[in-house]
Amino acid sequence: MRKDSGGAADGERAGAMDIRPVAGHIGADITGVDLAGDLDDAVIAGIRAAVLRWKVVFFRGQHLDHAAHVALARRFGEPVVLPRRGKASPPDFPEVETTADRLELGGRFGMEHDEWLRRRRHTLLRGWHCDHGARVDPPAATILRAETVPPHGGDTTWSNLAAAYAGLSAPVREFADRLRAEHRLGVGYQPRPGDDAYLRHLLEHQTASEHPLVRVHPETGERVLFVNGYYVEQVSGLSRPESAAVLEMLLEQATRPEWTVRFRWEPGSVAFWDNRATIHLAPGDTAHVDHPRIMHRVMLAGDVPVGVDGRPSTPLTGTAPGRW
């Protein structure tokens, strides 16, 4: 995110804006702000400071359209323009990606959303991810707004990866500091028998990078356990059994309940999170609910992660800094 100075302290007010933490290590509600309005620099600085401190912040009752969503994102950085988006995304706003869940997946890949979840999340930790983590320069942050949500279910959960790293024992932190891992699009997907349009999509758009297993946050200086269940395939230099054991241990650490916060969406809700210091779990409990869940997201361009040893991430295939 673009750097600013200033910001409100935890639980204090910056003018009409009020910031209230909602969990012990992650998440804060922000009230008293109209995100579609003309926000002054002090409010922007306060929001940015809250995102860096609490990793994800929540707003309710907002009235953003696509133009206002993009304008808000530009106050914090450069919105990503995706070369490929689903049919539900607005054609006149290339920065906005619309997720329509069951409708989108059914239309593109010939399978219902619940089947896609079964094939993609065949382990309990597989769904946890940061946005576009297989890229060499994953987005710095994501701003997601809810248009339509089910009457029940559909919550999103985030985990604080800086807290997860700090919660490791000193010997394990020192061990993890030296490691790197391959992050690859489509890790662990279980193909359908016969023709599989989603598998073809993965093969045609293969993306992979080698990232440090612990990255240094470019703004806060925190060490972040840079691991997730969606993209991480192999710890470099370890055997397959060693890598599997290490990744399972670190993923279990990263998703322990004490590092997490869960958010109940309403129409008009907005979540703004630091994609460099969190992983999140999209819901898997609405496939049986006959109601759409339509969300719109704008991501902010990020930088190349750097490890404790100062070495940056390296691209392996299908990715280059700043090229989407």
Catalytic residue ranges: 129, 131, 280, 297
Do 73 and 79 touch, CB atoms closer than 8 A?
yes
Question: Kind of pairing, strands 294-300 and 223-225?
Answer: unpaired
Sheet holding 208-212, edge to edge: 232-235, 180-184, 208-212, 314-317
Residue 141, both tokens: 């942050």
Do 187 and 231 touch, CB atoms closer than 8 A?
yes
Residue 9, both tokens: 């302290």
C-alpha pair distances (Å), 61 with each of 65, 77, 79, 82: 13, 24, 23, 28
Question: Helix/strand/coil (H, E, C) string of the chain?
Answer: CCCCCCCCCCCCEECCEEEEECCCCCCEEEECCCCCCCCCHHHHHHHHHHHHHHCEEEECCCCCCHHHHHHHHHCCCCECCCCCCCCCCCCCCCCCEEECCHHHHHHHHCCCHHHHHHHHCCCCCCCCECCCCCCCCCCCEEEEEEEECCCCCCCEEEEEHHHHHHCCCHHHHHHHHCCEEEEECCCCCCCCCCCCHHHHHHHHCCCEEEEECEEECCCCCCEEECCCCCCEEEECCCCHHHHHHHHHHHHHHHCCHHHEEEECCCCCCEEEEECCCEEEECCCCCCCCCCCCEEEEEEECCCCCEECCCCECEEEECCECCEC
